[in-house]
Amino acid sequence: MGWKFWQKKEPLATEAPEKTRRLGKPRDLPMEVGRHLVVEQGLDPDWAWSLKCVVKPRDNSKSAFDIRVFNSESAAKRGVTVRDYTSLEEHMDLILFAGWYDKEKRQASLEGPMKEAV
């Protein structure tokens, strides 16, 4: 038996795997974004912290992310399943705020809100 499972084969040059970034699922707001909505935008804290977001890493930074903020209850009422950042592209009216945030610098910049949603 010639099994050498501890030795790995060298990958061929044509089989170079592409780096794909996997986008995250909807989650609670990051601290920087929630603080921005409450302090700088002057929104009700209970409402602002009940919102969900989806993020996508920015190309030029390791600590900066593009973000879209939405209300999960209104998405569920309309029958829309939000899986990741790109799934909201078909339902732009669900996006309440869009922008970016940086975890390392603790900064956030969001555009919005749509007046109908608030």
Q: How does pLDDT run across 84-116, given as a tens digit for each residue? A: 888 888 888 889 999 999 988 888 888 875 544
Residue 64, in any domain of the structure? yes
Sole residue written with tokens 């707001």: 29
Q: Please tell me the total number of residues recorded for the chain in this structure.
A: 118
Residue 13, in any domain of the structure? no
Q: Which domain holds residue 55?
A: 24-111
Residue 4, in any domain of the structure? no
Residue 70, in any domain of the structure? yes
The total of structural domains in the chain comes to 1
Residue 81, in any domain of the structure? yes
Residue in 68, 61, 64, 77 with CA at minimum distance from that of residue 27: 68
Residue 117, in any domain of the structure? no
- pTM for this one? 0.73
Residue 18, in any domain of the structure? no
Q: How far apart are CA 83 and CA 61, in angstroms?
A: 24
Omega before 113 within 30 of 0, i.e. cis? yes
Is 101 in contact with 64 (CB distance < 8 Å)? Answer: yes
